[in-house]
């Protein structure tokens, strides 16, 4: 199974492609492998619609290249900055549109659900989630941007939650 995890954003959008191998008689342990991750950034000087277009074009290329079975997206949560939430919501709408266009199911996870899946504690610090994601995937170094590691954690949460689902 290929999972595309996304941390929606307008200025920066984290994306991670995870392969989940099923357990078998030879290998009873399920395994996740990070195939690709990035943080897509947009130029603040561009017009609003051009920034959304740039995000959409990059995401569409990722979808076409990796052909995910499911897309995991972090649910929008309470934002103090009203201006920020609107841009993020618009980016999330673009993500949902591309998923529907490609006929890929979407699973959404709250930050609390991601923290719970990654650390066993829903109020864990962001650094704890990041350390667990790095440890689970045995990464040599942490990604540069938080958005990228958040996308990885979202994909891992999806991997854990789809044990009882069929895609």
| Residues marked as catalytic | 7, 74, 147
d(CA 164, CA 167): 10
CB atoms within 10 A of CB 166: 4
Closest by CA to 107, choosing from 29, 52, 159, 51, is 159
Pairing of strands 2-7, 12-21: antiparallel
CA distance 65 to 163: 25
What is the Cα–Cα distance from 99 to 28, expressed in whole angstroms?
Answer: 32
């Amino acid at each position: 199974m290929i999972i595309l995890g996304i941390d929606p954003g307008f200025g920066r959008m984290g994306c991670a492609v995870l392969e989940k191998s099923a357990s078998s008689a030879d290998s009873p342990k399920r395994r996740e492998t990070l195939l690709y991750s990035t943080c897509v950034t947009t130029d603040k000087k561009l017009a609003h619609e051009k920034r959304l277009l740039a995000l959409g074009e990059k995401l569409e290329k990722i979808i076409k290249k990796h052909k995910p079975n499911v897309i995991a997206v972090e649910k929008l949560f309470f934002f103090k900055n009203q201006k920020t939430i609107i841009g993020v919501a618009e980016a999330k709408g673009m993500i949902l549109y591309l998923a529907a266009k490609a006929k890929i199911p979407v699973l959404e996870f709250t930050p609390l659900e991601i923290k719970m899946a990654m650390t066993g504690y829903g109020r864990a610090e962001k650094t704890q989630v990041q350390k667990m994601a790095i440890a689970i995937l045995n990464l040599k170094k942490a990604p540069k941007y938080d958005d990228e590691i958040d996308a990885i954690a979202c994909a891992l949460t999806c991997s854990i939650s789809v044990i009882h689902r069929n895609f």
